[in-house]
Amino acid sequence: MRRVLLRGEPFLEPLPEGFLYHGLSVFTTLRAERGQVLWLEEHLHRLRRHASVLGLPYPGDGVFLEDLEALKGAFPHEPCLRLRFTVGEGVWLSEARPFAPLPLAAYREGVRVHLTPYRVHPDLARLKTGNYLPYRLALREAQGQGALEGLLRDAEGYVVDGSRTSPLLYREGVLYLLEGGLEGITREKVAEAARELGFRVERVRLRPEALRGHLLLAGSGVGLLPVGPPPGEVLPLVQAFLPACYTE
């Protein structure tokens, strides 16, 4: 079940995929746990900045905060929600649905990723825009190969992003943030937590052959997800970002 508000009013018709993924828009996805939205201020700040870059009129944080309360009220018994705020040309959209976490085994045993041939936009890669087709195609190809996530490269062949997550690499006490893709909010929170746990954090650009170590995937939909079984020293970091829905 999904609830959608268009300019603050209920919208019942199915949303055309073109509006969500192939149009002139910016968006952000969030997770709410027990009524509290994770890093709401950071998400709204990024949405506002990215709208400004594309010249889209931002309707103000207040409209999204009002929508948020209405959407949470529509799901009074759901411990976790997946939210999305979108800004288009003269329009804004807010939506929510119950959040269904991955099986706990995915965090203990890890998941698979697939390196796809798709590349991020050379000008828009850092922005979370509706110009989303390469990411959709990368996800489709990855799923066709039995993988949870598809990795994308830039024009120079560096691995810079995932179709739905931000990739990181752990190796010998260092957490590497793969630069060149979306400004991932969850990824930055993971980096902060990693420093507090004593890891060194570095920002790098890496080609596929240099991805030696243990890949991790960060995103609002997964928290921090290991690719393959995580090494023991990384488990506290994975645990710190485990969706709270599991403890209900």
pLDDT in tens, 54-81: 999 999 999 999 999 999 999 999 999 9
Work out the angle at residue 212's Cα, subtended by the Cα atoms of residues 210 and 215, and round it to the nearest 5 degrees.
110
- Chain-centroid distance of CA 247 in Å reads 22
Give the right CATH number for 3-98 from 3.30.470.10, 3.30.460.80, 3.40.50.360, 3.40.50.300: 3.30.470.10
Closest CA to 234 of 160, 179, 172, 166: 172
Instruction: Please state the CATH superfamily assignment of the domain spanning residues 105-247 in this structure.
Output: D-amino Acid Aminotransferase, subunit A, domain 2 (3.20.10.10)
Which of the four pLDDT bands, split at 50, 70 and 90, describes residue 245?
Answer: confident
Band (199; pLDDT cuts 50, 70, 90) = very high
Express each pLDDT in 204-217 by its tens digit.
Answer: 999 999 999 999 99
Name the pTM for this structure.
0.94
Range 7-26 average pLDDT? 75
| Mean pLDDT within 32-48 | 96
> What is the CA angle 239-243-248, rounded to 5?
110
CA separation for the pair 128, 27 (Å, rounded): 6
Each domain of the chain, given as residue ranges in start order, spans: 3-98, 105-247
> Tokens at residue 104, please?
């706990």
| Average pLDDT for 192-202 | 97
pLDDT per residue as tens digits for the range 67-124: 999 999 999 999 999 999 999 988 999 999 999 899 999 999 999 999 999 999 999 9
CB 245 within 8 A of CB 33: yes
CB 165, CB 174: distance < 8 Å:
no
Q: What mean pLDDT comes out for the span 145-170?
A: 98
